[in-house]
Amino acid sequence: MCIYLRSNISYCLRNEVIANDEFEILSIDIKKPHSKTFNVTAAYRPPSCTSGFFEALEAIVRAVDMESKEQIIIGDFNCNYLMDRNNMHLSQLKQLSSTYQFQQLINEPTRITLNSSTLIDVILINEPSRILKSGVVHIGLSDHSLVYAVRKFSMPSKNTHKHVTTRSFKNFDANAFREDLKSAPWESLRNCATPDEMVEVWSNMFLKIADAHAPMRTRRVKNKKSPWITTELRELITGRNRLKRQAILTKQPSIWDEYKKERNRINNEIKKQK
């Protein structure tokens, strides 16, 4: 289990998390500037986990609730919200939600295969008025669809560009550069007492000439967050996502097989590009 955060968002880990080999829980408090801190807890309960998960989750929920903080819980609990009748684990989850007044935002299947359709990836929140929108996106990256929630969250804008310093060869004249190098007083190097002094004198003379012919310039360039994602790769990813949507709508085994082959091929291509 992991949580990704922008680098300019301040947070701290909660210490109520209980280490366990059967399930994964990660809980953090996000500290907004000039605003109340709120909590995000991410959790995963494997289908084979029979006990302890909901007790550990409630320990965190109870501690945060006592601090009167907003809470967001997200994860795969392997409890199908679309079941006609509740099983034990789904009952425990709904009881926890009812006790601490959580609302479950996701209302459509999040894991769809040729033979099944389940809602096991959930987002629980105790202050739904702070959520602008939420939903499910059927992407082809995994057999689980993407669940999301957009929260009202204002932060100082982060500069999306970076600055690089390079030499400008716009007016560079190679012949003039060579002539200046020839006329430089290189014989002065013989007066140096140590190799370190020679390097310093040589560097100063060379860089002075280089700066005159190809001066240093600082320019702003746009950050490319994932340089391995090429235009061709983006087109393949779009096609893969389209195939998954077709497979979900048509429920045809041939399209499911085609989607899985395309997903595996693109995953291998991304690894190569990285």
Q: What is the pLDDT of residue 152?
A: 82
Residues 26 and 79 in one domain: yes
2 inside domain:
no
Tens digit of pLDDT for each residue in 133-154?
Answer: 999 998 888 889 999 999 887 6
1 inside domain:
no
Tens digit of pLDDT for each residue in 220-256?
Answer: 877 666 788 888 888 999 999 999 989 888 889 999 9
Amino acid at 51: S
Residues 16 and 147 in one domain: yes
Task: Point out the domain boundary residue: 222, 244, 260.
Answer: 222
Q: What is the pLDDT of residue 15?
A: 84
Domain count, the chain: 3
Q: What is the pLDDT of residue 84?
A: 60
Domain membership of residue 143 as a residue range: 10-151
Q: What is the pLDDT of residue 36?
A: 86
Helical ranges in 17-87 per DSSP H: 53-66
What DSSP designation does 25 have? Answer: E
Tens digit of pLDDT for each residue in 64-117?
Answer: 999 989 999 999 999 898 886 668 888 889 999 999 999 999 999 999 888 888
Dist. CA 141–CA 229, nearest whole Å: 14
Dist. CA 80–CA 75, nearest whole Å: 13
For 207-216, what is the mean pLDDT? 94
Dist. CA 122–CA 44, nearest whole Å: 11
Dist. CA 65–CA 63, nearest whole Å: 5
3 inside domain:
no
248 inside domain:
yes
For residue 126, pLDDT over 80 is answered with: yes
Residues 20 and 144 in one domain: yes
Task: Point out the domain boundary residue: 151, 173, 203.
Answer: 151
5 inside domain:
no
Task: Point out the domain boundary residue: 112, 127, 151.
Answer: 151
Dist. CA 40–CA 215, nearest whole Å: 50
Residues 84 and 168 in one domain: no
With contact defined as beta carbons under 8 Å apart, do 43 and 52 qualify? no
Residues 214 and 138 in one domain: no
Tell me which of 23-27, 48-52, 84-88 is least confident. Answer: 84-88
For 27-45, what is the mean pLDDT? 89
- Going from the C-alpha of 232 to that of each of 235, 241, 270, the distances in angstroms are 5, 15, 11
The CATH number of residue 22's host domain is 3.60.10.10
For residue 159, pLDDT over 70 is answered with: no
126 inside domain:
yes
Top pLDDT among 141 and 259 is at: 259
Residues 77 and 126 in one domain: yes
With contact defined as beta carbons under 8 Å apart, do 117 and 136 qualify? no
Residues 134 and 198 in one domain: no
Whole-structure pTM value: 0.59
Q: What is the pLDDT of residue 87?
A: 81
Q: What is the pLDDT of residue 202?
A: 95
Neighbours of 51 (CB within 10 A): 9
Contacts of 33 (CB under 8 A, 6+ apart): 10, 155, 156
Residues 236 and 137 in one domain: no
186 inside domain:
yes
For residue 185, pLDDT over 90 is answered with: yes
Dist. CA 141–CA 268, nearest whole Å: 12
Residues 217 and 255 in one domain: no
* Mean confidence (pLDDT) of the chain: 88
- Going from the C-alpha of 212 to that of each of 80, 202, 217, 266, the distances in angstroms are 70, 16, 12, 49
Dist. CA 161–CA 84, nearest whole Å: 51
Residues 83 and 199 in one domain: no
Residues 96 and 40 in one domain: yes
- Helices 231-250 and 253-273 cross at an angle (nearest 10°) of 160
145 inside domain:
yes
For residue 216, pLDDT over 90 is answered with: yes
Residues 14 and 70 in one domain: yes
For 157-163, what is the mean pLDDT? 65
